[in-house]
Amino acid sequence: MKYRVLGKTGLKVSEVGFGAWAIGGNAHGNSYGPTDDKQSLAAIGRALELGCNFFDTADVYGHGHSEELLGQALAEHRSDVIIATKVGGDFYHGSPRMNFNPDYLEFALGKSCERLGSDYIDLYQLHNPPIQLVRDGRVFKTLEKLKASGKIRHYGISIHDPQEGLLAMRDRELGAIQVAFNLLRQEAKNQLFREATRSNVGIIAREPLANGFLAGKLKAESAFLQGDIRHNFPPDYISQLTLAMDKLRFLESNTRTLAQATIRFVLDHKDVSTVIPGMKTREQVEEDLVSSESPPLTGEELLRIKFLRDQEFT
């Protein structure tokens, strides 16, 4: 495993981290299908063995279950790992809703610390806040207070629109931006990556496998159970994703899977501090983490990818 520095936080993170959304399970929805806690714990343990030290979760994943599993598996390794979690999806008070009020952020932080078995969080991230909140900026003052109290070491933001990240970087203490980036979604690559590097803000690349479709194992007719976020994907969208996956199979070889190639693509961008594929089993951990040691994509492969993107994978 190789390591990179997460922007101005100075944290030395494994360049392939553990995305813990999926291990939250689908009991509360908003996840990636059913899980087995024994398998999830074994996956976390194997990640540790292979040198992964960055674990990213959110309180809303499994309504706390993802954090509980990480807390259990990492209890004896707390000083050796970096835990990032997120806040903003209030599932404590009735139906889940967005909540970024100062009192709520402090309340939710306390709950996350309890589940994680830690009295501090290394990286506390706003979870998909509305752009109006980011533009207003007062929420960052609340994060500054939490940082000053020692309950969080650094803070960041998890976003969809790169413009939200650009606005957030007006706060000079912002440590990291988490954003979707993969072979199919590259809108963050230009201005956001450039400005983040200039401001020394770490980039955490999420969804490198495009919700699992670039792992090379799904089909157009794949069915997703209730509680799996892909259950509600329109059939046409699933067809588009599987078509792109099939067009990209040229990246596979006897020594590299499609998943490894797509993760490697993300790592080939020096602006990225760490990439966090979702993992539920030891097998997925072993496949994904080896991407850190795999060779970069070739110029010919990158040109072919660009051609396919220009043709919209048709």
Instruction: For 53-89, give one letter per residue: b (16+ CB within 10 A) or e.
Output: bbbbbbbbbbbbbbbbbbbebbeeeeeebbbbbbbbb
Centre a 10 Å sphere on the Cβ of residue 302 and count the other Cβ atoms it contains. 13
Alpha-carbon gap, residue 279 to 258, rounded angstroms: 15
Task: Tell me how far the alpha carbon of residue 7 is from its chain's centroid.
Answer: 16
Residue 203 pairs with which residues in a beta bridge?
177, 272
pLDDT at 84: 98
Report the CATH fold assignment for 3-310.
TIM Barrel (3.20.20)
Alpha-carbon gap, residue 278 to 240, rounded angstroms: 21
Assess contact for 141 and 134: CB atoms under 8 A. no
pLDDT at 31: 85
Tell me the mean pLDDT per 10 residues along the chain, length 314. 98 98 85 92 98 97 95 97 97 93 98 98 98 95 97 97 95 94 95 97 98 93 88 93 96 95 98 97 97 96 96 88
Residue 14 pairs with which residues in a beta bridge?
3
Domain boundaries, the chain: 3-310
Q: Where are the beta strands (DSSP E) in the chain?
A: 3-5, 12-14, 18-19, 54-56, 82-87, 89-90, 97-98, 121-127, 152-159, 176-180, 202-206, 272-276
pLDDT at 10: 98
Helices (H), 248-279: 258-267
Task: Tell me how far the alpha carbon of residue 85 is from its chain's centroid.
Answer: 10
pLDDT at 153: 98
Write out the two tokens for 72.
């259990």
Write out the two tokens for 215.
């792992």
pLDDT at 194: 97
Assess contact for 50 and 284: CB atoms under 8 A. no
* The amino acid at 150: G
pLDDT at 147: 97
Task: Tell me how far the alpha carbon of residue 200 is from its chain's centroid.
Answer: 19
Instruction: For 183-215, give one letter per residue: b (16+ CB within 10 A) or e.
Output: bbebebbeebbebbeebbbbbbbbbbbbbbbbb
